[in-house]
Amino acid sequence: MGSKAALGRAALRHAASERGASYAAVALLSAALTLLLTSSTPQSTGSHGVASSVRMQHRRLGGGGDAADWMCKHQYAVTTWDRKRVPACDPALCTATPAPLKAPAKGSSAASRRWTPRDDDAYAAASPSVVGWLNDHQVRYVRVMTALQHQLGVFGAAGEIGVHHGKFFAVVAGNAAAAEPLVAIDLFEAQSENYDLSGSGSTANILYPEKLMSLMDATGIPRADVRLVSGNSLTLTASNFTSLGLPAWRMLSVDGGHSLETTLHDVNVAACTVRDGGIVIVDDWFNQEWTGVQEATYHATHALARLVPFMHGHNKIWMTTPSHASAYLDAARREFGCVDVHESRSSIGGSALCLLPE
C-alpha cells in the first residue's frame, strides 16, 4: 500500500520533470491531493487460518442508525486471500458527498460535447496504437449513454480510476460536456504499488501521464482540462473529491486494481460519490482471470443497493442509481438491441439486465 510520502514524491517528480507548464500544474494538483488524502489503508487482520487455505470471511456489520453510518451499516468486512482487509467500517469513506453539477443551459457551449466529429475520427485513427483494453462497441455505448444523460439534465464529473494510457478515458472525456470536469486517477509511475499487476503488460512503457496527455492532444482535449490524480485509489475517500471542489460523478469507469480488495474499495467510493443518474462502469467484470472484480461488484450491488446494474457485455458492467435504472435499461434495449434471453436469466439483485450483443 502506498504511503502519503511516496504519493507526494511521485507527484513532485512530475513537477520536476520538463514536460511543460500545464503538466507541472496538474502535478501540483496531484501533490495537493496527496496532502488531502486521508488514510484508510487496509489493515492486517492477524491470524485467520493458514495462508495456504484461501478463506473469505463475510459478515454484515451492525452499525448505528444515522446518515453518517450509511456506509458502515451496509459494508461487508472482507478478508482477502492475503489476509488484508477492506476497511470494515470507515465512515470517512462516504460522509462528504459531492454535490451534483447544475445542468448548463441547453444549447450553450458549456452543455456541448467536447469532441467534434473530427475528434471522433482522430480518436479512431489514434486508438489502435494506444496500449489499452477496449473495443469499438464501448465507444458507441459511451457516446449514446452520455447523450442520454445530458438530455435528462444529468451532468457531473467524468473520468476513470485506472487510466493507463487513456484509451477508455479519452472516450469518456471526449463525450463529456465542456462544463464537466475530467478526472484521471492512476498510480502512474508508482507501479510498485500495483500489487495485483493490473494492466502491467506495459510497465516497460511507463510515463503513463505523458502517454495520456499525448492522446488528449491528438483528440483535441486541452491538457489543462484534465485533472491528473496520482495515487493509490485505496487511499481515496469521498472527501478527497469534495476538497478538490469536484461535483459528483456523471460517469466513472472503475478499471484500476482488479483484486477483490481494491475493486470493492473503488466501487464503494464510486457508490457514494456518484450523482443520481450517474453511471459507474466496471471493467473486466466477467473476466475469469479476475474473479475479484465480479465478487466486488456483487457485494457493492447487493450490500449497498446504491448501484443497480442495467447492462453488461464486452467485459464491462454498467450500473446507475435506482432512480434511473429503468430509463437506462429501456435505452439500452432500444439503442443496442440486447440478446433475447428471459429476464429471469439476465438479472442481478432482482434487476433486469441488458446483455449486449457480440
Ligand X SMILES: C[S@@+](CC[C@H](N)C(=O)[O-])C[C@H]1O[C@@H](n2cnc3c(N)ncnc32)[C@H](O)[C@@H]1O
Instruction: Give the residues lining the site for ligand X (CB under 6 A).
Output: 132-134, 160, 162-164, 167-168, 185-187, 194, 198-199, 232-234, 255-257, 262
Burial of 327 (0-12, 13-18, 19+ CB in 10 A): middle
Kindly tell me which of 32 and 61 has the beta carbon lying closer to ligand X.
32
Q: Rounded to whole angstroms, how far apart are CA atoms 31 and 231?
A: 9
Looking at beta carbons only, is 101 or 234 nearer to ligand X? 234
Strand-pair category, 316-320 with 274-283: antiparallel
Shortest CB 216 distance to ligand X, Å: 14
What is the distance between the alpha carbons of residues 293 and 265, in angstroms, rounded to a whole number? Answer: 11
Smallest separation (angstroms) from ligand X to the CB of 327: 26
Query: Of 262 and 294, which has the nearer Cβ to ligand X?
Result: 262
d(CA 259, CA 267): 12
Shortest Cβ 233–ligand X spacing (Å) = 4
Least separation, in Å, of the C-beta of 257 and ligand X?
Answer: 3
C-alpha cell at 78: 472482507
Q: DSSP characters for 91-156? A: GGGTSSPPPPBPPPPTTSGGGSBS--HHHHHHHHHHGGGS-S---HHHHHHHHHHHHHHHHTT-B-
- The residue type of 316 is K
Q: Which of 320, 319, 265 is nearest to 292 (CA)?
A: 265
The nearest distance, CB 350 to ligand X, in angstroms, is 30
Nearer of residues 180 and 186 to ligand X, judged by Cβ: 186
Task: Supply the minimum distance, in Å, between the C-beta of residue 274 and ligand X.
Answer: 18
Comparing CB distances to ligand X, the nearer of 158 and 187 is 187
Beta carbon nearer to ligand X, 134 or 179:
134
